[in-house]
Amino acid sequence: MKEDEIRPAALLDEYFHLLKLDAESLAKKSRDFVEVACPFCRDDGIAESFLKDGFHYRLCAACGSLYVSPRPRPGQLASYYVDAKAVRFWSQQFYKQTGMARREKMFRPRAQLIKALNERGMFSDTGMFADVGAGYGLFLQEVRALGLFDRLIGLEPEPHLASICREEGFEIIEKRVEDIKEGDLSVSVAACFEVIEHVFDPVSFLAGCKRLLKPGGLIILTTLTIDGFDLQVLWEQSRSITPPQHLNFPSIKGMSLLLSKTGLAEEEISTPGELDLDIVRNVSRQRPDARIPRFARKLAEADDAVREDFQQFLKRNRLSSHLRCIARRKR
């Protein structure tokens, strides 16, 4: 997989231009923002910080996670996701033009992961599956095609997206997972791909996910880890570090602490990413002024065999920026 297949460069440029404008306009309301401690370990020590598009990113001194503080209140974030120009551009242009590629390169492999975990005997049962943050329902469609679960549920708080999913025939709960109560559902397997980086408070978010699950139920979560190669190399120059969309970047340690704070049992924290070197190479080629260490540039421009070998090294040693976490609700 190449970065360009799921994120074409020309569309991305316009998207990031809008994101920056949206961020700067929201940052003008920063007097209403709230100061938070590390969203993964709750420590308030800061090792270093930087400012991007009007938002302060802080590196946690205790667990090494990166997070925005002060950050917009939950209500401000909700309005942002309804009103922002970048969000509209994503749904009207980006999503439509890349939908097929994203289905094939992102959502189908995620469904294959669900299938593989089932074959590994990781699921207590296959009664109910929930997609937390169902979006346009693309992942639910792929899971439905597996024919594995008796009942599929999507959680999607945004009304427009929820209605798109319903038109596809899915059962949608129009709530944030934080508002789910114990016993509302009894989910066997829940997934939340690329959601936790957006939420106001990952601990409340994951606690909500836990309440969805039946005892023994499994949650599969992906996000970006700040321990990963492209984020470490590019740091504040990384396009993944975009406020106010991406507020939370756990370290591997931070992710593990988040699970123990929520009372979920860790089954796996891995970084099966494919794109680190590709991302660094794209930045190196497209933005000649980017500050990239010579050695990282050399690796990114190396022969395919070397690049592949190094990407495998990153995967094996939990040093890719794509993090996958699998956890279980204790019985």
CB closer to Zn ion, 41 vs 221: 41
User: At closest approach, how far in Å is the CB of 69 from Zn ion?
Assistant: 11
Distance between CA 323 and CA 227 in Å, rounded?
9
Q: Rounded to the nearest whole angstrom, what is the least distance from the CB of residue 258 to Zn ion in the complex?
A: 9
Shortest distance, position 248 Cβ to Zn ion, whole Å = 10
Contacts of 254 (CB under 8 A, 6+ apart): 38, 40, 41, 60, 63, 64, 65
Minimum distance, C-beta of residue 138 to Zn ion, in the bound complex (Å) = 33
* Residue 155: Cβ-neighbour burial (10 angstroms; 0-12, 13-18, 19+): buried
The mark string for 250-289 relative to Zn ion (x by CB under 5 A, - otherwise) is: ----------------------------------------
- Least distance (Å) from Zn ion to the CB of residue 318? 17
Q: CA 88, CA 91: separation in Å to the nearest integer?
A: 5
Q: Which is nearer to Zn ion, 38 or 132 (CB)?
A: 38
CA distances to 31, 66, 76, 267 from 117, rounded to whole Å, are 46, 30, 37, 12
Residues whose CB is less than 8 angstroms from the CB of residue 328 and which lie 6 or more positions away in sequence, other chains included: 216, 217, 218, 219, 264, 265, 267
Residue with Cβ nearer Zn ion (60 or 275): 60
Instruction: Please state, in angstroms and rounded to a whole number, the distance separating the CA atoms of residues 281 and 316.
Output: 21
Q: What is the DSSP string of 115-161?
A: HHHHHTT--S-SSEEEEES-TTSHHHHHHHHHT--SEEEEE--SHHH
Give the containing element (helix H, strand E) for 95. Answer: helix 95-102
Q: Which is nearer to Zn ion, 65 or 262 (CB)?
A: 65
274 vs 140: CA distance, rounded Å: 23
- Among residues 44 and 274, whose Cβ is nearest to Zn ion? 44
Calculate the CA 132 to chain-centre distance.
Answer: 12
Peptide bond just before 215 cis, omega within 30 deg: no
Segment 3 to 62, residues that bind Zn ion, using CB under 5 A: 38, 40-41, 43, 60, 62
Q: Which of 15, 36, 56, 65 binds Zn ion (CB under 5 A)?
A: 65
Of the residues 23, 26, 63, 152, which one makes contact with Zn ion according to CB under 5 A: 63
Shortest Å distance, C-beta 63 to Zn ion: 3
Strands 171-173 and 151-155: parallel
What's the min distance (Å) between Cβ of 299 and Zn ion?
29
Write down the least CB distance from residue 40 to Zn ion, Å. Answer: 5
# residues near Zn ion by CB under 5 A: 8
CB of 64 to Zn ion, least distance (A): 7
When the beta carbons of 61 and 146 are compared against Zn ion, the nearer one is 61
Q: What angle do CA 326, 209, 118 make, to 5 degrees?
A: 40
| Nearest to Zn ion of 108, 261 (CB atom) | 261
- Nearer Cβ to Zn ion, position 48 or 179? 48
Closer of 43 and 274 to Zn ion (Cβ): 43
Rg (CA), the chain: 19
One-letter identity of residue 328: R
Residue ranges that bind Zn ion, judged by CB under 5 A: 38, 40-41, 43, 60, 62-63, 65
